[in-house]
Chains A and B, each alone.
Chain A
Amino acid sequence: MLKKLIGISLLGAAVLLTSCGDNGSTASGTTPTSTAATSDAASKIEVVGSTSVSPLIEKMAAEYNKTDANTKINIQAVGSSAGIKAAQDGTAQIGMSSRELKDSEKAQLTETKIAIDPIAVVTNPANGVENLTKDQIIGIFKGEIKNWKEVGGTDKPIVVVIREAGSGTRDAFEEIMKLTSEKDGKKISLVAQDAITADSNGAVKQNIATKENAIGYLSFGVVDDTVKGLSVDGVKPSTENVKNDTYLIKRPFLLVCKGEYDAAAKKFVDFIMSDAGQKMVEADGYISAK
């Protein structure tokens, strides 16, 4: 009997602990828990889409809720395609996409570019190579160049890391680097079949950080000192180079909605596009859209 009581009180304590933090805790980078007073003017914004864009939007929402605590912003990161679809059928007031809209999608949707995400070609910091030409990159990813010594490095095999098919990052990278070919109106990737396929920025990063001979591509915003960004054709992936269009490998972060944004959503989007919002974009390592 005593044991049962202990057990139940343990559980109860755990539950109490969690409800303790309910009252007005504001932690960095996450939305504050909604306070008990739900005013009748509380509105909801459903934001659905890309996993790459959502971390940024989460931070924006947290900041936005500091001035407007009554708007509940629900962010679901289920992928760009799902987000676009949700915007199209109205389940989401705002859709997030990390790729350009296809022509078929552009018809019903209005898009707002909120940031530019350069894609960096990265290697392990221990790798001596600092720069690659566009042709060398194409050769490497196609599997034609197999050893680092062919591009100015040491005699080691090149380990290519790519993203899964359907990744916005991959689509943008392959499109810009001309690594695709058309066949019967369908795009086929020309990348080597036996490359390591990683399923997210995080996986690519860890693959590269733990393997000296690896090369891959990453969203610029997540590059830190565990990986090294290469210059492409002598151009480094930096803010100025993206803004002056010398660094060309990049993709947009878009917010989309069907027709017009509704009142609550419009206020939020305006915030994101304001100077304060764009400052947050830059703080995260992306490029402002303005």
Chain B
Amino acid sequence: MKITDLALFVLLIFLGVSIKLDMDQRRLIQAEELKTRYNEVMFTATEDATMSLLQPDSNTTEDILKLGYDKRYMEVNPNLDRAIERFYETLYENMGIENDKVAQDAFKMHVPVKVVIAYDGYYVNSWHEVYNSSTGKNELLEMWSPKKPYSYYDVHDKLVVNFTLDDLVYIYNLQTGAMQSERRAQLSASYPGALFSQTSFDNVRRQTIVECIQKELGYYSVRYNNIAKQLGLGYIYSIPLIPEDAWSNTIKSTCFIAFLQGLPVGAQSYNTYGFGGARVVAASMYFGNTINGINYYHEEGCSQAAGSNIKFDSRREAAQNGYYPCPVCKP
């Protein structure tokens, strides 16, 4: 046999292996890109949903929002329906299925749980089987749970404590039956235990909020697995472990969380989640006053802000009205 024939023969054997390797490699690269894409899409969609949470859903809400100044968003009911609508709208647009009802319904099945973190409680949106009286059949619907509080039981003082996203606490004293809503500072005087002390309060509060939500997520993913089995989806849903720092960014303000599960990527399925960011309510106010005949605008809490009698929504608005940035707080 000549050397060329031998080379061809070896090549023939080798070709099969190399083609397979090549295809595997490509699939990996494409899967990697798809993952990044899904992450970006989830980020945008949850961000949009969070923005929509604060859209007024009734006249009273609108009034509160107009008062706006001292972070009154806490009292606003989040506009849950608008948020979920917007969440899907953005998802579909990015997936290119905005006009395809069948694909949309199929896609919805990959988003088993949505959570809204509100000021004094959280809402969970998941699939529920509901009896429809007009057709006499059970239907699968996406529904919001009622608001659930961030509850904690303090064994030492026998207190049921409901936390909020800041230092306001609702407490129920099991011994006296008294209910109170107070700031932490006031409570630390009447309950000198460790819970309301300045050092541990924030840790307990965060821990409670995260635990409440994680427990709920676990519950709903098990529930959803039952539904998925009935629908013939072969994927087992489980809530991914969320790193500590992702949580601590989240539980500062109203926020929308969604989990994308079981999307086929390459030969495997891919899970991701999205947090709608805190920047929504970070809408800061600027305070204007006059020092030595010059108009200055300050950030909230600036030492020079004493005697501020005017508020601005933005730095631009302040500048348009002839105010200079304060040299101390440098807004």
**A, B assembled together:** no
Residue numbers of A with Cβ under 8 A of B are: none
Which residues in B have some Cβ–Cβ distance to A below 8 Å? none
